[in-house]
A and B are shown apart, each in its own frame.
Chain A
């Protein structure tokens, strides 16, 4: 028989806290996020999206209370550092192959609705 350490594992129910208050996002928040992410969210689904995102934010809320004083953020699991590439030209022109994938291209250019600076 295996003797296991005291059971204190994650319990799904733990996160189903009844109050969301702090992490609730509303329609305005979703509109702002959707604008930043350039994603159209239709009016009909916006409340549903707000609710599900509030749920996710509720889930991650507990991170805030963890004491991470003096802990370095982890960027690469092995704390590896960047290798640098020698400066040489290794690519050849593949415009034709790439632009065959483009929704709209002409005269070697990708076309988009007028760009206004």
Chain B
């Protein structure tokens, strides 16, 4: 059962081949048996999952099956879940059980999904390797000594290891696309404002966007369909109808113009990764797309701009974690200052503290114009690059990450090297565009992801392109050795 895609599971459930309770038990059993190795889950909600599954079966029996009725999925532990600990991968929230759920979680619940548990992640979504989790590093199912990518590493690993049918994730600078790439699955970050941020613990508000990690594009479309939509509780959410992502999934892509930015194939790119990506682009050409070389001239400024904007926003967003109303409080605070400093000093991990300090620096008196304001201007230049490009092309293709999954510890002592993992994903985040990562081959035995970047609200096109690619190839069906 765990090998089936959501589309297949839907058929099995509706034909009565198996019940949601059986399916859920099967997944829970796999998690229990295998996840000690991968550490992809922080919390497994066994009893609640079974109750949801039984409710789903009852609803189906009553002729009231929602679109994803009885499908077991996992949520990144950044999404608040009512009554279920939401840690955000941090000691700070180790004891935090929210009395409310994120909009995305509520919507998927209404769509009939069963929640298996909460997935591991880099603390407060800060990281590209999942080495920054209070709950320990997640292992890449393809290569146990390598990182799964981050920050949605637990979500990517649990889908790759078939410990959930799909998982939610969030992407601030690449946190869905890069782990999807490293774990050989399909991940989509929609347009900024497409999925509500309500109940999603904020890292960098102007960049954070929820999305999906799944086995293939069709599954991603099925889940995103239920997750997306306007929410009046999120001021940055866009009031615009959600397209039907599944309707056009099978449409031909003949004549689609695919832009290939030279800047994404520069010197830092691993040659095997480059080769796999170029081969994938050729595959699109074979499917009838037209390939066009383009320029995104400000690409090299994206990582610097991102590492001002994201830390600046996070430095304020994380001030609420002060040991007063919820979360970690240090023992025996001597005075108010001591309460703040030790609760935050002890509750946050190294990378989170680093980013808060960088953001504090960038916003402090005398630096605002040179850093934050300048970064937001550069951000407009980066967005304009894409706007210009999309006047000539329908979609942009390139690599997701410069190299395949690296070994644990390889970059954890060098933050800048880690930040450069995001060079191809960060520009898309800054522009707020939708981006999709799909498997396109292997490099040194590790998965390589192809990134498709769409125009604003062009998620349907990205999913259609990816689906057509997956109809024609079987990269997405490759599984890590040892995943039975």
User: Does A89 have its Cβ within 8 Å of any Cβ on chain B?
Assistant: no
Contact (Cβ within 8 A) B344 A40: yes
Expressed in whole angstroms, the Cα–Cα distance for A110 and B323 within the complex equals: 10
CB distance from A110 to the nearest CB of B (A): 6
Given the contacts A78-B456, A85-B232, A113 and B357 also touching, CB distance less than 8 Å: no
Residue-by-residue, is B368-384 near A (CB-CB < 8 Å gives 1, otherwise 0)? 00110111111111010
User: Does B480 have its Cβ within 8 Å of any Cβ on chain A?
Assistant: no
Q: Which of B235, B299, B376 contacts A83 (CB 8 A)?
A: B235
Expressed in whole angstroms, the Cα–Cα distance for A84 and B168 within the complex equals: 29
Q: Which of B301, B319, B334 contacts A66 (CB 8 A)?
A: B301
CB distance from A35 to the nearest CB of B (A): 8
Contact (Cβ within 8 A) A77 B431: yes
User: Does A28 have its Cβ within 8 Å of any Cβ on chain B?
Assistant: no
CB distance from A85 to the nearest CB of B (A): 7
Contact (Cβ within 8 A) A104 B329: yes
Contact (Cβ within 8 A) B326 A78: no
Contact (Cβ within 8 A) B99 A94: yes
Interface size on B, residues (CB 8 A): 98
Contact (Cβ within 8 A) B336 A112: yes
Contact (Cβ within 8 A) B334 A113: yes
Contact (Cβ within 8 A) B325 A12: no
User: Does B315 have its Cβ within 8 Å of any Cβ on chain A?
Assistant: yes
Given the contacts A2-B282, A2-B291, A37 and B357 also touching, CB distance less than 8 Å: yes
CB closest chain-B residue, reference A25: B361
User: Does B159 have its Cβ within 8 Å of any Cβ on chain A?
Assistant: no
A-B contact count, CB below 8 Å? 238
In the complex, chain B residues 73-129 whose Cβ is within 8 Å of any chain A Cβ: 95-97, 99
Contact (Cβ within 8 A) B417 A12: yes
In the complex, chain A residues 46-68 whose Cβ is within 8 Å of any chain B Cβ: 49, 52-53, 55-64, 66, 68
CB closest chain-B residue, reference A94: B99
Contacts of B379 in A (CB 8 A): 73-74
**Overall SS of chain B's interface:** helix
User: Does B135 have its Cβ within 8 Å of any Cβ on chain A?
Assistant: no
Contacts of A107 in B (CB 8 A): none
Contact (Cβ within 8 A) B265 A77: no
Segment among B45-53, B215-223, B346-354, B460-468 that sits at the interface with chain A: B346-354
Interface size on A, residues (CB 8 A): 68
Q: Which of B264, B308, B325, B416 contacts A101 (CB 8 A)?
A: B325
Contacts of B344 in A (CB 8 A): 37-40
Residue-by-residue, is B308-319 near A (CB-CB < 8 Å gives 1, otherwise 0)? 100000010001
Expressed in whole angstroms, the Cα–Cα distance for A80 and B307 within the complex equals: 23
Contact (Cβ within 8 A) A59 B380: no
CB distance from A114 to the nearest CB of B (A): 7
Given the contacts A37-B360, A72-B380, A74-B377, A7 and B262 also touching, CB distance less than 8 Å: yes
What 8 pairs across the A-B complex have the smallest Cβ distances? Answer: A9-B266, A77-B432, A5-B262, A40-B345, A73-B376, A103-B329, A68-B377, A38-B340
Given contacts A68-B377, A72-B377, 20 further A-B contacts (CB under 8 A): A1-B282, A2-B260, A2-B278, A2-B291, A5-B261, A7-B265, A9-B262, A9-B263, A9-B423, A52-B415, A56-B358, A56-B415, A60-B375, A63-B308, A63-B375, A72-B380, A73-B373, A76-B192, A101-B326, A103-B324
